Amino acid sequence: MPVRALVAGAAGTALRAVLTAVLALRGLAGVALLAYGAWLAWPPGGFIVAGVALLADRVHDEGKGRSANE
């Protein structure tokens, strides 16, 4: 296999990993800002919103057939 193909494959894999991390951080920042905004309005509300977001993520993962233990 040519070296160029190997380098292109490795670069594509690295780019995919970076984009996945950026998308995950973007989602996490959105949830954190939503919980912070709720906390500013009513301090227990921030914890409630964060907990509901975690539960919703867990239900979404279970619906896809994945679990956190895999």
What is the per-residue pLDDT for 10? 84
Q: Given this model, what pLDDT does residue 67 score?
A: 56
What's the token pair of residue 60? Answer: 């979404």
User: What tens-digit pLDDT sequence spans the chain (70 residues)?
Assistant: 687 777 878 888 888 899 999 988 998 899 999 999 999 999 999 999 999 998 998 888 888 776 555 5
Q: Answer whether residue 29 is part of any domain.
A: yes
What is the value of pTM for the model shown?
0.65
Residue 70: inside a domain, yes or no?
Answer: no
In a domain, 23, yes or no: yes
Domain count across the chain:
1
Output the CA torsion sign for 16, 19, 21, 23: negative
| C-alpha distances out from residue 41 to 4, 14, 34, 37, 55, Å | 55, 41, 11, 6, 22
